[in-house]
Structure 1
């Protein structure tokens, strides 16, 4: 018998798992005042995080609003959010006049950004990642803001540290070494938030995320699909760390109580450093597939040390072994995929 709870058997079960608040989050959000707005709610994390906030407020007996803002290219997504009790507004965040018409909210989660296609469309990447934060900060200068960033701002680090131990990754105080157009705009995004946090006295947290995963999307999903299809596994990016999306949602929402001016930086990452080769072998066993390794294991990887964040926000609850087992079960049963590769193997910074 498995040591883990049964894997979600449907999208409904999965989304319920990804949006379930714990007691600490319920207490944390209940202690704050005002509505919660998610800017860029239409991405991969936004829907279940907004639903988690709604469920936490409901559990606390609060009637405060949870508001989701996106362009909403998907009518189905907007309808789903509405069915979960989330008020929705369609808005292009590059349109300053449209942003001015959005409702007030004392608590803002900013998830806007542009990654895939940044190399082909760099000007749009700079606009979305650096200009939008200025628009958001000026509009919501009276709010607390939790803004998402990325571990890509650090660049790659040696997988073995100077003492011969496995490197847990970059820490919040490390020097930033962005590699490629996207990572440079991500640093620019942070600098804009930092500037307005200081000049407008906005309490703000920057969350550097690596890598949120669930059963329809993420590093583990990409790797498992490659194993299942018999494709060679490229081990050039030889180490990764992942965090279950429900844990990432929960810890991100708890960051509101740590907003500060000047802005505070917190890494959002899992506890374990995974070997790509060993993880592929695990998937091979679970999916009953032979694996073929391609490339040479690199000595550097994009790794994010989340341990300081765990002391502040709480410990992730789902270990990598459970994520791997659930992912294999989901793919073996033909579970739904979002069809959006993470390109985590990228080693030249070009997305």
Structure 2
């Protein structure tokens, strides 16, 4: 299962790696009761997460109804997801009639939300990130729910702290992070009111060669754009590892809702990562500013105790990302803005 290549050749190989289920994930699907729905399937994570679930079912030799729900602003993405063998429901989850038309399956993954542009459209940000979760918690009150959140609900912490733990008090900075805490509170409320088993995933950050913090740094180094050290440290996890952990979280849903930090083990230095990319590209990175003593950092010991350590090393991730850029392959072109320190995305 861990026969990772030295270099990812194309999108097809990358998609296979992102959606490759671990043996533990396949075993879980053998035990899992009921069908599966992915709300907000379109985007960076949804397609590979749902495909991993489909592949896990196939490898487990079981049949489940796997459903993807989205507005699908891109027809090409909709076609791609349908070709994976995933049943599609197209519509706006904020429309009550559409939401109430959805089948009430046993297992629900909530991926819908808004981050970029949140400062320009605060009302929609709150509707997507707080109001919609309240609707979902009510409609799927008899399901198990795994809902994506963000490590940004924590405050900036000292870089030597080891990162925020699930037991730490949230102190969200800016309206985006505040609305994400609102999302969590709505699922917590639904969990308590309806006795719904829930896991809240505080992800910080999932990366792959087309998107993420590593791509943000790598493209700046490659194009001789200054790398800002304002946010000098960060955590990342390979999206394939995160996908496996998120799927397996279904077995750890609880009432009241359980919180899980999902990220890598290391606290990474922006300066060090930029220098490593510089070696790959044969370029001296342009580095500006000084590292602050604080950053958004998560402690993921609880998840690692449940699922084991991530299978992909940071060194492999660096090489894959660097080679992807070096080969001039397509990236998503959506900066993470990880360097933002005031919460304004």
Instruction: Look up the SS of the partner of 2:109 in the other structure.
Output: strand
Cα deviation, 1:237-296, whole Å, max 9, x if unaligned, reads: 010110000000000000000001100001011111100001100000111111111112
Aligned residue in 2 for 1:225: 219
Distance 1:4 1:251 in 2: 18
- Alignment deviations for residues 303-348 of structure 1 (CA, whole Å, 9 cap, x no partner): 0111111111332101111101110001000111011110000011
- Cross-structure match for 1:308: 302
Alignment of 1:55-94 (within 5 A): 55-94=55-94
TM-score normalised by L of structure 2: 0.98
Deviation at 1:15, TM superposition (A): 0.3
SS for the counterpart of 2:9 is: coil
- Counterpart-to-counterpart distance in 2, 1:327 and 1:186: 29
Instruction: Give the distance between the partners of 1:332 and 1:173, measured in 2 at CA.
Output: 41
Is residue 239 from structure 1 mapped to residue 233 from structure 2 by the alignment? yes
In the TM superposition, what whole-angstrom CA distance separates every residue of 1:8-39 from its partner, at most 9, and x where no partner exists? 10000000000000110001122011111000
Following TM superposition, by how much is the alpha carbon of 1:4 offset from its aligned partner in structure 2, in angstroms?
6.6
Q: Match of 1:145, SS?
A: strand
Instruction: Work out whether 1:52 is the aligned partner of 2:52.
Output: yes
1:267 alignment partner, one of 261, 264, 281: 261
Q: Does 1:251 align with 2:245?
A: yes
Superposition misfits of 4+ residues, deviation over 3 angstroms: none
1:279 aligns with 2:273: yes
Determine the structure 1 residue equivalent to 2:125. Answer: 125
The equivalences for 1:300-339 within 5 A come to 300-339=294-333
Q: What residue number does 1:214 align with?
A: 208
> For 1:304 and 1:197, how far apart are their aligned partners in 2?
24
Please provide the CA RMSD for this pair. 1.0
Question: How big is the shift at 1:53?
Answer: 0.2
1:349 correspondence with 2:339: no
Structure 1 match to 2:171:
177
Does structure 1 residue 41 correspond to structure 2 residue 35?
no
Give the 3-state SS of the residue equivalent to 2:133 in structure 1: helix
Q: 1:4 to 1:101 in 2, by over 3 A?
A: closer
* Match runs of 1:128-147 below 5 Å: 128-147=128-147
Q: Distance in 1 between matches of 2:76 and 2:147?
A: 26
* Superposed counterparts of 1:4-23, under 5 Å: 5-23=5-23
Q: Provide the C-alpha distance between the structure 1 equivalents of 2:226 and 2:211, rounded to a whole number of angstroms.
A: 20
Contact 1:251 1:314 in 2 (8 A): no
Please say if 1:186 is aligned against 2:177: no
| Equivalent residue pairs, number | 343
The one of 186, 197, 213 equivalent to 1:203 is 197
